[in-house]
Chain A
């Protein structure tokens, strides 16, 4: 069974430019998460989806970050415009949902803003 797939693996952009990350969760997983991991830190939740609905986006900086999960499968996370402080690894995770909350992570997208 394929795991959580993310692309691109690496991205380098100039500040003020837009950037987008894509995630394909494990088949059949209804819950999808986006986390951000700064160097030397644990991941921090940005947003959680239950199917198409964003049920927890309290930590998402909404002035520049947006996310969508059309049709309750793939998801895209966008930053516009990017700032130097956005340099981090962006991780997508998924779980089955309901009482099954074991979350499985993708390899992440390493973003460098210069």
Chain B
């Protein structure tokens, strides 16, 4: 069993919808939680970076960490076709070596 589990999708939503992406993990020592967006044939792009529990908001993106449930989420409001990409969750004990999920493929249709 991998330390980080993420449903690969694909997830298809209409433009303007609220998107919810999730990951679960098994290592309770993880302290750093990130979300990356990866377009086809590109490198991962850091979207959100959170230390420990709580919520963080940046524009249309909100990241939530629930350490008691070992569950993290990324919400995208007013989704746009340009949000179509693979979303990778990542987490770490020290902030350094990242443990990634498989990624969830998202398609936002006009």
Contact = CB atoms under 8 A, between A and B. Distances in A.
Interface of A: 4, 31, 33, 35, 40-45, 48, 56, 91, 93, 95, 99, 101-108, 110
B98 A91 contact: no
Contacts of A4: 43
A106 B46 CA distance: 11
B102 A91 contact: no
Nearest to B44: A105
Q: Which 8 pairs of residues, A with B, have the shortest CB-CB distance? A: A42-B100, A101-B95, A105-B43, A107-B43, A105-B44, A45-B97, A108-B43, A106-B43
Interface of B: 4, 6, 8, 32, 34, 36, 41-46, 49, 88, 90, 92, 94-98, 100-103
A44 B100 contact: yes
A43 B94 contact: no
16 contacts: A4-B43, A35-B98, A40-B8, A40-B102, A40-B103, A41-B100, A41-B103, A42-B101, A43-B44, A43-B88, A43-B100, A45-B97, A45-B98, A101-B96, A102-B46, A102-B49
Contact of B46 (A33, A35, A45, A104): A104
